[in-house]
A and B are shown apart, each in its own frame.
Chain A
Amino acid sequence: MTTTTLAPSALRAEVARWSPSLWIGIGLLAFIVLAGLFAPWLTPYDPLRQDYGAALRAPDAAHWFGTDSLGRDLFTRSLYAIRTDLVIGFWTTYVPMLIGVLLGAYAGLKGGWFDAVLMRVIDTALAFPFLVLIIVILAILGPGTQNIYIAVFLVGWTMYARLARAEMLVESGKDYILAARTLGFPTARILLRHALPNVINSSIVFSMSDFVLNILLVSGLSFLGLGVPAPTPEWGAMVAEGKDFMQQAWWISTLPGLMIVLTGVALALLGDGLTHRLGDRHVTGH
């Protein structure tokens, strides 16, 4: 559509511009995603299968991450939890991003009452700590994966709307937007085809750290008992289950916790690499 199909040489040129942090970030994330996808082939155990005879085993050759108090293999559960956490992280990041960027960019382009009302709504939402707002909404709706989605969709778009509006205010004064208006293009075309591709970069970069924060949010909610319901493998819930056994079995909380850290590092590196890759357009662009 807006970019021509990448010829092999163009692809090679693109790859040549990737920074080491982008490389490592993409590699780590690909590794994690593949581990989640191929979990059934990577481990002989069932993530839900309980085995009281093998409860609270320390990590060894049979159970790489040890077992929990119900005798479930923690390595298996950590792998299957990749699916849960990345899927929830993806939706809780990119649905709000879509809503927020569209609303914010439109407000920045048009201004007027829509802009004024939207900004006051955002100010109000951002006046509360994010987690507190989510917990309040979940307290009303009740716990569960579906309600986490609803709660985050209601609140998460505000940061993106603010970012996109700020970028749009800069962009809308540029002559190419005026030229599009002079040519009589409708607002939807100006917004989607001309403005959005030029204002979305900062939101994409921000979404990488937001992704990490959302995984931590889901883990935190599960830790508090408001998140993913019990038997489903989820890193935060696993950390919470392990807290009663910290003295005897350190691995129950620690190793799933390290999975969260690893995912966080991968996304942070990816975000850092994207900042440089997307940012250098502005430098060479002038």
Chain B
Amino acid sequence: MAGNESSLLTVRDVDVRFAKARTLADIVLRRPAAAVHAVASASLELRPRETLGLVGESGSGKTTLGRAILQLHPVAGGEIRYRGRSVHDPMPDWQRRLRREMQMVFQDPYSSLNPRLTVTQTLGEVLRFHRIVPDAGVAAEVARLLDVVGLPRSMADRLPRAMSGGQRQRVGLARALAVRPTLLVLDEPVAALDVSIQAQILNLLSDLRAEFGLAMLFVAHDLSVVRHVSDRVAVMYRGRLVELGTREEIFLRPAHPYTRMLLAAVPQIVARKRVRPVQAATDMNAAVVGGCPFAPRCPQAVDRCREQVPATAVLSETHSAACHFAAT
């Protein structure tokens, strides 16, 4: 079954598990190693030229989901389709095409570049490997990429250690853009940068999106960052998608208590009213076996929340939330 015609990327019921090391007790009792559920039946869709913000606190599985889409983590269940075709289809031509169409920008600009390669070497390798331009045109293409990400051409022969965090992040972006992708997964691309640099990179991203018609999956823990760049926003909590909606819906009419908590944590210049502080995840392991995973931290939780997993309530064509009280 091909996915929705209008969708570029379809993620349906995806599970990602991390196996813990098999302990002696596991071997004696002949049971498999315990597993951590990093992502549990996550579903989302990304349309061409659209930016979807994926937010959640650390440990919510948002980075893992982003990496699973690029096949950096194996998927335990569900399916990920790109243009209607499974990304796990092993046909070499398809895999090569996927590598050119989907790219990733990483969080840590200090470890995302090979410390021994200059900017020209890093970008040139990508251009030559994927034959983006003829070999004779590599130098010119490197210069063009530097212009695109706003780096002076004099940076071309620098090693990463001679560059600032923001400059390195621009090189990481240029490397991803070198293959001329359609879809960019951005894993917290500004979280490691100074606030003033963050704004520059976010502006650059909006420009690039407009210029190249890129679709983006923007992973972040900070709602205020996502607000600038996203058309739609997905909120994850402990491996599950708890709310999905357009930017306006999420920021103006949040339906899930966790989304409201995250919004309350966004610093505001003028406080509109006193907000309840975010409650820390005191005891994650207390998470209810048969109930809503957010119940232990939820200010609205009632007995029903601890007993019954909430179904996803559809609030509008674009807005849904996994909460018993979402519809009210």
Residue ranges of A at the interface with B (Cβ–Cβ < 8 Å): 2-4, 174-176, 178-185, 189, 193-194, 197-198, 281, 284-286
On whether the beta carbons of B115 and A285 are closer than 8 Å, the reply is: yes
- Which single member of B103, B111, B116, B157 contacts A182 (CB below 8 Å)? B103
Chain A residues with CB below 8 A from B96, complex form: 184
CB distance from A150 to the nearest CB of B (A): 35
Chain B residues with CB below 8 A from A189, complex form: 129
On whether the beta carbons of A184 and B99 are closer than 8 Å, the reply is: yes
A256 to B72, CA, bound (A): 58
On whether the beta carbons of B161 and A284 are closer than 8 Å, the reply is: yes
A17 to B104, CA, bound (A): 37
* A–B complex contacts, Cβ < 8 Å, 9 sampled: A3-B116, A4-B157, A179-B106, A180-B114, A182-B103, A184-B99, A189-B129, A198-B116, A286-B161
Tell yes or no: B121 within 8 A of A by CB: yes
Residue ranges of B at the interface with A (Cβ–Cβ < 8 Å): 67, 70, 72, 95-96, 98-100, 102-104, 106-108, 110-118, 121, 125-126, 129-130, 157, 160-161, 172, 175, 179
On whether the beta carbons of A179 and B112 are closer than 8 Å, the reply is: yes
Q: With A4-B118, A175-B107, A194-B114 in contact, is A183–B72 under 8 Å at CB?
A: no
CB distance from B164 to the nearest CB of A (A): 12
CB distance from A173 to the nearest CB of B (A): 9
Q: A174-B112, A184-B99 are in contact. List 15 more A-B contacts (CB 8 A).
A: A2-B117, A4-B157, A175-B106, A175-B108, A176-B111, A176-B113, A176-B115, A180-B114, A182-B103, A183-B130, A184-B96, A281-B115, A285-B115, A285-B160, A286-B110
Chain B residues with CB below 8 A from A178, complex form: 67, 72, 104, 106
On whether the beta carbons of A176 and B112 are closer than 8 Å, the reply is: yes
- Which single member of A4, A174, A183, A284 contacts B179 (CB below 8 Å)? A183
The 8 closest A-B pairs by CB, nearest first: A184-B99, A175-B112, A175-B106, A174-B111, A176-B114, A175-B111, A285-B161, A182-B104
On whether the beta carbons of A183 and B115 are closer than 8 Å, the reply is: no
Q: With A182-B72, A183-B179 in contact, is A2–B103 under 8 Å at CB?
A: no
Chain A residues with CB below 8 A from B100, complex form: 184
Say whether chain A's binding surface is mostly helix, strand, loop, or mixed: helix
Chain B residues with CB below 8 A from A174, complex form: 111-112
Q: With A2-B121, A175-B106, A175-B107 in contact, is A182–B99 under 8 Å at CB?
A: yes
A178 to B72, CA, bound (A): 7
Q: With A175-B106, A285-B161 in contact, is A198–B115 under 8 Å at CB?
A: yes
Nearest A residue to B103, CB-CB: A182
Chain A residues with CB below 8 A from B107, complex form: 175
On whether the beta carbons of A179 and B115 are closer than 8 Å, the reply is: no
CB distance from B14 to the nearest CB of A (A): 18
Nearest A residue to B96, CB-CB: A184
CB distance from B196 to the nearest CB of A (A): 21
On whether the beta carbons of A197 and B72 are closer than 8 Å, the reply is: no
Nearest B residue to A283, CB-CB: B161
- Which single member of A3, A4, A179, A284 contacts B175 (CB below 8 Å)? A179
Chain A residues with CB below 8 A from B121, complex form: 2
Chain A residues with CB below 8 A from B157, complex form: 4
Nearest A residue to B104, CB-CB: A182
A178 to B243, CA, bound (A): 29
A4 to B121, CA, bound (A): 10
Nearest A residue to B100, CB-CB: A184
A50 to B112, CA, bound (A): 66
Chain B residues with CB below 8 A from A184, complex form: 95-96, 98-100, 129-130
On whether the beta carbons of B72 and A181 are closer than 8 Å, the reply is: yes
Chain B residues with CB below 8 A from A2, complex form: 116-117, 121
